Amino acid sequence: MPNMSLVKNEMPTQKPEERIKNFNEVALGYTEEQAIDEAKRCLKCKNKMCVAGCPVKIQIPDFIAKVAEGKFEEAYQIILTQSSLPAVCGRVCPQENQCEGRCVRGIKGEPVAIGRLERFVADYHNKNCTEKPKQPVKNGHRVAIIGSGPAGLSCASDLAKRGYSVTIFEALHTPGGVLVYGIPEFRLPKAIVQKEIDGLRALGVEIKTNIVIGKTLSIDELLHEYGYEAVFIGSGAGLPKFMGIPGENLKGVFSANEFLTRINLMKAYKEESDTPILMGRRIAVVGGGNVAMDSARCARRLGAEVYVVYRRGMEELPARHEEVEHAIEEGIIFKTLTNPTEIVAYNNPDDKRDPRNMSVKGMKCVEMTLGEPDDSGRRRPVVKEGSEHVIDVDCVIMSLGTSPNPLIKSTTKGLDTEYWGGIIVDLNGLTSKEGIYAGGDAVTGSATVILAMGAGKTAASAIDDYIQSKKKAFE
């Protein structure tokens, strides 16, 4: 008998007034009882709309059925056939636009909490499974992977399981890509990312940090001097965008990338870290995506009063619903339908050497109204006449999205890219150069962990086919 409750089992969380004082994970996860009870809300529909909504086609009703039976490890194995990073995706996927957005239970009431169940199953496995993965039999072929974010990790995992000797090249000193430098500890504990990376190493994957492909080594060298037969580019979209308004280079204006990297990768919030972070009293985060929410919530935890400034309305915020809800609970103030036009500098005319000179004194903004829908289908924000005002802030974080890093394109002859930098690939992830594949944000521009992971898997299959067919031709 299914559980006909109209609402999800509530996720236990740290109380807002407590969690704004620490960086520990906000959502604490279901208990076994809560998970089983929630799993029973699934109606096991014949036409599985949830699966259609999943970018990697996880067999959702099947794994949920196992959860309902209390067979959590079996549920994990079902997820694992389609996803390499369940503990990560259960936490960071925008489920409301994917699986849960299509769930029949959502028509009247709330959808089944698919994301929470995925997380539960993955955490259960990580906690209880001590079995080490078997080292696959090596097939003697070598593949290089550039970047250790979600795309690279999933591509590496699939190839290693098929017997390939895989080397991941990472530019930073810690593997994980955006999972490490971008997403904060309170949303995705780094121990979980580390567990995934340890799992890859156990499969025999080699990870070389501190190597910038395009600088330290080139793709051509990997293929022609180092003996790799194929390369997968999963270098992400790391280049931050700025608005191009006056005052953007003042002291106290940061890209979300810089702010989050200082906190997440460099642990600037910890006393023992040498990396400094400039903390304002009042901070404006410009933008409305997940990265904006992450920045705002990090700033809040460092003790600031925080505004999220977004040019469209609350309804249009591109961030996950849960992040917005959590941000509101944490006391973050949303100034929607507001757009910055200038960042105002502090200037002491009597003392040119005043260290406060050229730091942020405020942010000039205009109010917006929503007009006709634009190309993206969202209503276009239009400036409201005479609405100019200044917000009193001393720090501004620009979170306007990112674009692919041009380092690889500029050092790889014949690699075709879009005008905005995205690497051009076919359906299998093949670029304009033989043996070179790409996927994730490096191809799409900033998107989601799950899409990057899916692209990594697709490319892994294509690389396998490519190398095997070359081998056959050779024989």
**Footprint on this chain of another protein (rule: CB under 8 A):** 171-173, 181, 209-212, 215-217, 238-240, 242, 244, 248-252, 254-255, 257-258, 261-262, 265-267, 272-278, 355, 357-359, 405-407
Angle between helices 72-80 and 114-128 (to 10 degrees): 110
One-letter amino acid identity for 174?
T
Residue 391: C-alpha distances to residues 306, 328, 341 (Å): 11, 19, 11
Question: Given the complex with another protein, which of 276 and 377 has the nearer CB atom?
Answer: 276
Nearer to another protein by Cβ, of 140 and 244: the residue is: 244
Output the six-digit token pair for 388.
């100019």
Q: Which residue has the tokens 């031709």?
A: 473
Nearest distance from C-beta of residue 406 to another protein, angstroms: 8
Residue 121 C-beta: closest distance to another protein, Å: 33
Q: Which residue's CB is nearer to another protein, number 82 or number 412?
A: 412
**Among candidates 133, 470, 446, 174, which has minimal Cα distance to 291?**
446
Strand partners, 239: 403
Q: Which is nearer to another protein, 418 or 434 (CB)?
A: 418
How large is the greatest C-alpha to C-alpha distance in the chain, in angstroms?
81
Contacts of 271 by beta carbon, 8 Å cutoff, 6+ apart: none
CB of 469 to another protein, least distance (A): 32
Q: Please, which residue, 50 or 144, has the CB nearer to another protein?
A: 144
Give least dist CB 448 to another protein, A.
19
Q: Nearest approach, Cβ of 391 to another protein (angstroms)?
A: 21
The 10 Å Cβ neighbour count of residue 65 is 18
The Cα–Cα gap between 116 and 123 comes to 10
**Which single residue is written with the structure tokens 């959860």?**
67
Nearer to another protein among residue 272 and residue 385 (C-beta): 272
Q: Which is nearer to another protein, 172 or 450 (CB)?
A: 172
Residue 64 host element (H or E):
helix 60-68
Nearer to another protein, 90 or 280 (CB): 280
CA distances from 267 to 181, 251, 461 (A): 10, 21, 37
357 or 461: whose CB is closer to another protein?
357
- Look at residues 456, 4, 9 and name the one whose alpha carbon lies nearest to residue 234: 456
Q: How far is the CB of 293 from another protein (least distance, A)?
A: 19
**Minimal distance, residue 19 CB to another protein, in Å:** 24
DSSP characters over 122-137: HHHHHHH--PPPPPPP
Ramachandran angles phi, psi of 230, nearest 5°: -150, 155
- In angstroms, the CA 454 to CA 54 distance is 10
Supply the minimum distance, in Å, between the C-beta of residue 165 and another protein.
20
Q: Judged by CB, which is closer to another protein: 21, or 173?
A: 173
- Minimum CB separation of residue 178 from another protein in Å reads 10
Q: Kindly state the tokens that stand for 433.
A: 């150069």
Q: Which residues are CB-neighbours of 417 under 8 A, at least 6 positions away?
A: 404, 409, 423, 424
Percentages helix, strand, coil for the chain, rounded to the nearest 5?
A: 35, 20, 45
Smallest distance from another protein to CB 302, Å = 13
